[in-house]
Amino acid sequence: MRETSDVGQRTAGRGRQPSAARAGALALALACALGAAGCSKPKPAPPALEQVLAITHVTVVDIVAGNDVPDQTVVVRGSRIAEAGAAASIPVPARATVVDGRGKYLIPGLWDMHVHALADAEVARAFLPAFVAWGVTGVRDMGGKVNVMRAARFAVQVGTVVGPRIVAAGAILDGPQPVDSTVSLAVGTPEQARAAVDSLAAYGADFIKVYTLLPRPAYFAALREAARLHLPVAGHVPDGVTVREAADSGQRSIEHLRDETEPICAAVDAACDRLLDTLRAHGTWLVPTLVVLRAKAILDDSSLYADPRVWTVPETVRSAWERIREGKQDRPQAYWREKRARYRMELALVGEAAKRGVPVLAGTDAGALYTYPGSSLHDELAQLVRAGLTPAAALRAATLGAAEFLGAADSLGTVARGKAADLVLLDADPLSAIANTRTVRAVVLRGRLFAGAALDSLRSAEGESLPALPAPAATPDTSKATHRF
């Protein structure tokens, strides 16, 4: 698919000779700029009015305390929360757009901390608006194409595409014969690992994603190089590395509860508790992605592929899912019973991890098997509660927990003065029932309000083409790498 930029089209004709009229105007402007007599200085354009939004008399969900704070008013100026407090003490600015929050609940914008939205431009255009429509204002993309990553970030920044904040790995580091060569760098040696990390850093990756077949020496070399460049490492635990070694070596998060092909614990027992205590001690986060583990366990269930959401994803994604499903339909019932039993154990494992203080993040693997942009995060929150987390803890995993993981708790994760204005207005209380996170009435993203028809349109929106971007500097300065929001 050819991708062009409106900017590129507009600037393509700049090399043409101007008309006589335009030449005269340019000459006059130049003369005036140099102080010629008879020229009056042009009046500066008035500054654009800052957008002001007030959500009044709303119940704010306090993510830190895990309780509801009724009758609050939140004022947004530009992209930040300017005021937040008791409605009686917060005046509503005269020119504010006012949203009546009576009977509604306000939460921070949600984060899906494991998605695959940047595999190609078609997927990005379909997925990015859908995240926002469901209140997901930030995503951590766990592996795609570097050029799509760069183009999507730029398109979201300039407003060509409505999309969440994007923290991304770019490509995946995998072994010499990668599991998925379309989104992976083939790495066989420590030297190749260091070069791959350097390359991803140069292209603006926020972290390094490691994968299944990455050889043991290359894995540790990648971690050392990433540490030198101040880039965190996340992903799978490769075949030749243990979970304990990954935690000891500084891998920041472990995805899917997997010691690659098997769960990190065979059972929730004393040995498992010791491993979980190690993860807690090292500050290693778990991203269970329960919603995709459940899909794999019930792939024989017709309700999975009868879900109407299946028609909201690109045909290429839908066809890939169908091929996987069809390839397993000849499995005996004993196979599916074992799959379901394993999933029940994985639910128990998540509950035990949370109980022992291992930090847990909400992620879906959106784009993988029957997982959907935006809406699947609400499925994930429900599964976290099923695993034993309280609604408040599950909500924290998708808000303040994500902010803490990203080192951005000063800007994200709670509804408070000075924070980024990423907010979700709900019709019902998520602390009384986690399913109420689905009752999205409005979304505020970087201070911009999406409500009513504007919100509905995002659920079927497809953005404009993602622009091509120039190559980055060969030797980036990552000594002070940090993500600012």
Query: Looking at residue 422, what is its pLDDT?
Result: 98
Query: Mind listing the pLDDT tens digit for each residue in 93-110?
Result: 999 999 999 999 999 999
Residue 303: CB atoms within 10 A of its CB come to 7
Q: Where are the alpha helices (DSSP H) in 159-313?
A: 190-202, 216-228, 243-248, 270-282, 290-297, 302-305
Query: Looking at residue 22, what is its pLDDT?
Result: 40
Alpha-carbon distance of 18 to 21, in angstroms, equals 8
Decide: 466 and 152 in contact? Cβ < 8 Å.
yes
Query: Mind listing the pLDDT tens digit for each residue in 217-243?
Result: 999 999 999 999 999 999 999 999 999
Q: What is the 3-state secondary structure (H, E, C) of 224-260?
A: HHHHHCCCCEEECCCCCCCHHHHHHCCCCEEECCEEC
Q: Once rounded to an integer, what is the mean pLDDT over residues 355-373?
A: 97
Query: Mind listing the pLDDT tens digit for each residue in 405-415?
Result: 999 999 999 99
Residue, of 262 and 149, whose pLDDT is higher: 149
Query: Mind listing the pLDDT tens digit for each residue in 163-191?
Result: 999 999 999 999 999 999 999 999 999 99
Q: Per-residue confidence at 302, pLDDT binned at 50, 70, 90? A: very high
Query: Looking at residue 466, what is its pLDDT?
Result: 61
Q: Would you say residue 47 has pLDDT above 60?
A: no
Decide: 353 and 269 in contact? Cβ < 8 Å.
no
Report the alpha-carbon angle 116-118-121, nearest 5: 135
Token pair for residue 196? 């791959």
Q: Once rounded to an integer, what is the mean pLDDT over residues 130-139?
A: 98
Residue 443 per-residue DSSP state: E
Alpha-carbon distance of 423 to 155, in angstroms, equals 21
Decide: 408 and 102 in contact? Cβ < 8 Å.
no
Q: Would you say residue 258 has pLDDT above 60?
A: yes
Q: How many CA atoms lie within 13 A of 142 on its CB side?
A: 24
Decide: 99 and 408 in contact? Cβ < 8 Å.
no
Q: What are phi and psi of 144, to 5 degrees?
A: -160, -145
Encoded amino acid at 148, one letter: V
Query: Looking at residue 34, what is its pLDDT?
Result: 30
Mean pLDDT of the chain, nearest integer: 88
Q: Per-residue confidence at 262, pLDDT binned at 50, 70, 90? A: confident
Q: Give residue 147's Cα distance to chain centre.
A: 17
Q: Would you say residue 450 has pLDDT above 50?
A: yes
What burial class does residue 188 get, using C-beta atoms within 10 Å of its C-beta: 0-12 exposed, 13-18 middle, 19+ buried? Answer: middle
Decide: 119 and 155 in contact? Cβ < 8 Å.
no
Q: Per-residue confidence at 467, pLDDT binned at 50, 70, 90? A: low
Name the 3-class secondary structure at 133: helix
Q: Would you say residue 449 has pLDDT above 90?
A: yes
Alpha-carbon distance of 179 to 234, in angstroms, equals 17
Query: Looking at residue 316, what is its pLDDT?
Result: 94
pTM above 0.75, yes or no: yes
Alpha-carbon distance of 185 to 173, in angstroms, equals 5
Which residue segments constitute the domains of the chain, with CATH numbers given?
49-108+414-456 (2.30.40.10), 110-168+242-412 (3.20.20.140)
Residue, of 290 and 329, whose pLDDT is higher: 290
Query: Looking at residue 461, what is its pLDDT?
Result: 58
- Which residues are CB-contacts of 27 (< 8 A; sequence separation ≥ 6)? none
Alpha-carbon distance of 152 to 121, in angstroms, equals 8
Q: Once rounded to an integer, what is the mean pLDDT over residues 42-54?
A: 71
Length of the chain: 485
Query: Looking at residue 50, what is its pLDDT?
Result: 83
